Amino acid sequence: MTALAAEDLVLSCAGRVICGPLSFAVATGTTVGLSGPSGAGKSTILRALVGLLPPAIVAAGRRTVLGVEVGAAGVDLPALRSRAVLVGQTPVVFPASILANATFGVRHVVRASRAELRRRAEAALVEAGLWDEVADRLDAPASELSVGQRQRLCLARALALDPLVLLLDEPTSALDAAATATVEDAVAGLAGRRTVLIVSHHQPQLERLCTQVVTVAGTSPAERSV
Amino acid sequence: MGVVLVSIVGYLIIGLQSGSVDWGRLLTSSVWDAPSGQFGALSMIFGTGVVAVIALTLAAPLGWAAAVAVHELAPPRWRGFLRAGTELLAVVPSIVYGLIGIAFLRPFVAELADVPGGDSLLAAGLVLAVMVLPTIVAVSTDALAGVPAGVREAAAACGLKRSEVIRDAVIPPARRAMGAAALLGLARALGETIAVFLVVGRADGRMLDGVGDLWNRLVRPGQTLTTKLNGPESILAGTAGDHWAALCALGLLLLAAVVAFTVIGQREVRAGQGGRPRRYRARSGGGGAPRWRRGRDRVTRGALTAAAVAPLVLVVAVGGVILTRGTAALDPGFWSSESVGASGGGIRDQLVGTGVLVLAAGLLAAPVGLALGLVIAEYARPAVARWLRSLTLMLGGVPSILLGLWGYWLFSTRLGWGKSWLAGAIVLAVLAVPPVAIAVAAAVVELPGERREAALANGLRRSQLVRSVVVPHALPGLLTGLLLGLARAAGETAPLLFTAAIFSGARGLPDGVVDAPVSALPTHIFTLAQDAGDAAAGDAVWGTALALTLIAGLLVLAATPARRRLEAR
């Protein structure tokens, strides 16, 4: 079963091709890495998969996520994004409490009681490896957290939606070794239950976490198995 | 510049002490009767409050919604166009808004409430609503632009619909600065004089008799603090004695209110730029069935789109009225012939007069504004610079009627200039200095540190650095600020009425300084709009309005390309 796939995906900006053509398929429940040099368009590919491309960038080719063809007319993109969640490279926390950040997506998508939302947020914080550090101050402003904690809070915000697919853009770029290990543990814990696509330029990390790595290199993509 | 501000407060305080003011009566009584020495200002405070509340109730929600729609929903290539459209509303001088109020809002209120004339607090509030709308839209748009793009993406990546992203991710960090936009709009509404003057009816002593009386009061004449000060009493009172002291007390009340709202508003805008709301709000709701969410999203977006169109509709309506009624200005003879008493005639002398005033004001404001901006951004210690910046912003918020009375007291009376073009030009220059100084200071702050370092490394002294690096870098800002400031100054009426302008008898260029008045376009409209019963005067007054709007518009238009050309160097 394929969770997400790209066929001859080409991204271009003002007529200039920035990456592709690229084809890959990610099977349900697997963890796949996307590697390549800086500026190869890895992050932009993740955005293309959920229809969050900057207006200047145009995507050609088929992108299929959870059976939905992204870019086709009449697609309910918000609904898709709540099942295939993108976690950006720079951790964006909203000016609200830690708890409110963790429930930010889920409270819009799911009709649930306050207690139920809180339970899901707590479970997500545990899964993201942040729970022990924030359990006693869930109502504190999220802006008090360190960058590494914010990155895991963003992961928790995505996990609270209980998504089938996670798209992680450089999830450990801002972290020190200890925090990186925590996030890697969290991602490894997702294996089997969720489909994960990770962008990273840190090859050893991808080899630790992924069953397969897709290399994006300018316009000549290569695929190899680990 | 601080001297000017001190002097403005000073003349009011000197005025207060030239007679006795019964503050208790002033603030609690609504009886104002100069011959019997009774000065109660309650009805004017009430009137000022009512027109400001009407204006804000209409303009704040509309302005916020328009800003959100333009910045968050409109396609990028439409954004600049929509925003420029709203800014056009700010180009129209307030005297022209007064004229539109006379022509359309008075009859509208008269018919709506079946009252004679239609001069009313409601008409004044409606005019003000249109006038403060550009302020609210502009400040709110800046607040939204300050929200990092990553916030929108992060929220959308969680599956939120467009309207949910706006409501829960974009507005919370922008909320504080958007609230400040309304405060700045309020300050603008409280200080506006001339447009209100023409439609409010200027009836003293009208107070509310219970809540049931509210509508009755709204649709009938009233008085505000600014319209009282702009009336004939300010001349009749002389510049000393109880009557003048009572008027100065009104001026101080007005100044205190406007300065307070300006300062709080500016502070909130700055505080809000950090993107941090005042308090955290725990929310749990917002979810719902997919159909309900989709429907709500559609309704919200529809309402916002309608709000984005509203300012454009106003621009088209206002522009259309000025253009269709002002056809007299299409005749070249109108520009080159003399005015003829109460039937209007041409505007040759008024053009010359406004030209003299604006040119002289520009020549005064450019060096003073440049110096002030350099002191703020280059020379002063941080604490002093902060103070100077606040003082400059305060000065920019001082209602023009108070500047007019200041000029009348200082130049026309104390210095004995009588009506003098130079007095008018100085007052207009005071209006234009704050935008110049703020623009210069902003440009200096943006000067790249490397360029400064390179100049110093080549052995330049401080004064040489300023002359050959800092000032050239700040010139585009200077020019933009000056043109925008002069566009506003050109349309000002109230300051000229007391200092420089006469209706007829001023021919060509003024001779000397003492007792050397000029005619000017805005005061020409002011007099014709009130006194003329002649049908020909109707054509002349709208023709003059079109001419004045074109001049202000050209100054604003010139600001953009002038800036671009200088920056490209």
Tell me the two tokens of residue B180: 């400040």
The long-range contacts involving B112-116, CB below 8 angstroms and separated by at least 24 positions, are: B112/B219, B113/B215, B113/B219, B115/B219, B115/B220
CA distances from B342 to B154, B290, B328 (A): 65, 67, 16
Tell me the two tokens of residue B95: 């005297």
Asked if B437 and B392 touch (Cβ cutoff 8 Å), the reply is: yes
Residue B274 scores a pLDDT above 60 = no
Q: How far is Cα B200 from Cα A29, in angstroms, rounded to an integer? A: 72
* Chain A residues within 8 A of B284 when measuring between CB atoms: 103, 107, 114, 117
- The pLDDT-based confidence of A209 (bands split at 50, 70, 90) is confident
Give the residue among A225, A223, A221, A210 at the shortest CA–CA distance from A11. A221
Asked if B254 and B405 touch (Cβ cutoff 8 Å), the reply is: no
* 3-class DSSP assignment, residue B280: coil
Residues of B with a Cβ under 8 Å from any A Cβ are 76, 148, 150-151, 153-162, 164, 168-169, 172-173, 275-277, 280-290, 293-294
pLDDT on residue B108: 92
> What are the pLDDT digits (tens) for A142-200?
888 988 888 889 899 899 988 899 999 988 887 788 878 888 888 888 777 889 999 98
In the CATH scheme, what is the code of domain B328-569? Answer: 1.10.3720.10
Residue B54 scores a pLDDT above 90 = yes
* Chain B residues within 8 A of A95 when measuring between CB atoms: 172-173, 275-277, 280
Tell me the two tokens of residue B385: 């610079």
- Nearest CB among B151, B286, B294 relative to A108 is that of B286
* Higher pLDDT, residue B137 or B282: B137
> What are the pLDDT digits (tens) for B99-118?
999 989 999 999 998 888 88
Give the residue among B210, B185, B196, B246 at the shortest CA–CA distance from B21. B246
* Chain B residues within 8 A of A158 when measuring between CB atoms: 157-158
> What are the pLDDT digits (tens) for A103-129?
888 887 888 888 999 999 999 999 888
Mean per-residue pLDDT of chain B: 85
* Chain A residues within 8 A of B271 when measuring between CB atoms: none
Residue B31 scores a pLDDT above 50 = yes
Asked if B499 and B420 touch (Cβ cutoff 8 Å), the reply is: yes
Phi, psi values for residue B240, rounded to 5°: -160, 165
Nearest CA in chain A to B174: A95
CB contact under 8 A, A108 and B158: yes
* Chain A residues within 8 A of B157 when measuring between CB atoms: 50, 52, 81, 85-88, 158
Asked if B425 and B218 touch (Cβ cutoff 8 Å), the reply is: no
Q: How far is Cα B379 from Cα B358, in angstroms, rounded to an integer? A: 29
pLDDT on residue B61: 94
> What are the pLDDT digits (tens) for B306-351?
888 888 899 999 999 999 998 888 888 888 888 877 677 788 888 9
Identify from A50, A57, A94, A150 which residue to disrupt to test chain B contact, counting B C-beta atoms within 10 A and taking the largest count. A94
pLDDT on residue A221: 44
CA angle B134, B139, B140 (to 5 degrees): 100
pLDDT on residue A224: 39
> What are the pLDDT digits (tens) for A12-64?
888 888 887 888 899 988 899 988 887 788 888 888 898 888 878 888 889 99
Residue B277 scores a pLDDT above 60 = no
In the CATH scheme, what is the code of domain B44-223+290-314? Answer: 1.10.3720.10
- Nearest CB among B150, B151, B280 relative to A141 is that of B280
> What are the pLDDT digits (tens) for B122-131?
999 999 999 9
CB contact under 8 A, B159 and A110: no
Give the residue among A205, A151, A207 at the shortest CA–CA distance from A179. A151
Angle between helices B171-191 and B42-68 (to 10 degrees): 140
Region B487-493 average pLDDT: 89
Lowest mean pLDDT, pick from A62-66, A91-95, B169-173: A91-95
Asked if B373 and B474 touch (Cβ cutoff 8 Å), the reply is: yes
Q: What count of other Cβ atoms lies within 10 Å of the Cβ of residue B353?
A: 29
CB pairs under 8 A between A and B: 110
pLDDT on residue B128: 94
Nearest CA in chain A to B160: A78
Phi, psi values for residue B505, rounded to 5°: 105, -10
DSSP H or E stretch at residue A196: strand A195-199
CA distances from A121 to A162, A163, A172, A190, B453 (A): 10, 13, 21, 16, 51
Residue B279 scores a pLDDT above 60 = no
- Nearest CB among B151, B287, B290 relative to A94 is that of B151
Pairing of strands A57-65, A68-70: antiparallel
What residues does each domain of chain B span? 44-223+290-314, 328-569
* Chain A residues within 8 A of B288 when measuring between CB atoms: 111
pLDDT on residue A226: 38
- The pLDDT-based confidence of B283 (bands split at 50, 70, 90) is low
Q: How far is Cα B456 from Cα B548, in angstroms, rounded to an integer? A: 47
- The pLDDT-based confidence of B284 (bands split at 50, 70, 90) is very low
* Chain A residues within 8 A of B275 when measuring between CB atoms: 95
Region B206-215 average pLDDT: 78
**Before B277, cis peptide (omega within 30)?**
no
Nearest CA in chain B to A55: B76
pLDDT on residue B55: 95
pLDDT on residue B276: 53
pLDDT on residue A223: 43
- The pLDDT-based confidence of B505 (bands split at 50, 70, 90) is low
CB contact under 8 A, B290 and A79: yes
- The pLDDT-based confidence of B375 (bands split at 50, 70, 90) is very high
* 3-class DSSP assignment, residue B1: coil
> Can you list the domains of chain A with their CATH numbers?
1-74+197-226 (3.40.50.300)
Pairing of strands A212-215, A68-70: unpaired
Residues of A with a Cβ under 8 Å from any B Cβ are 47, 50, 52, 55, 76, 78-83, 85-88, 90, 92, 94-97, 99-100, 103-112, 114, 117, 139, 141, 143, 154, 157-158, 161
* Chain B residues within 8 A of A87 when measuring between CB atoms: 157
Report the b/e string of B11-23 with b at 16+ CB within 10 A.
Answer: bbebbbebbebbe
Residue B311, C-beta contacts closer than 8 angstroms, at least 6 positions apart = B62, B66, B82, B85, B86, B89, B133, B134, B137
pLDDT on residue B321: 92
Output the pTM of the full model: 0.82
* Chain A residues within 8 A of B79 when measuring between CB atoms: none
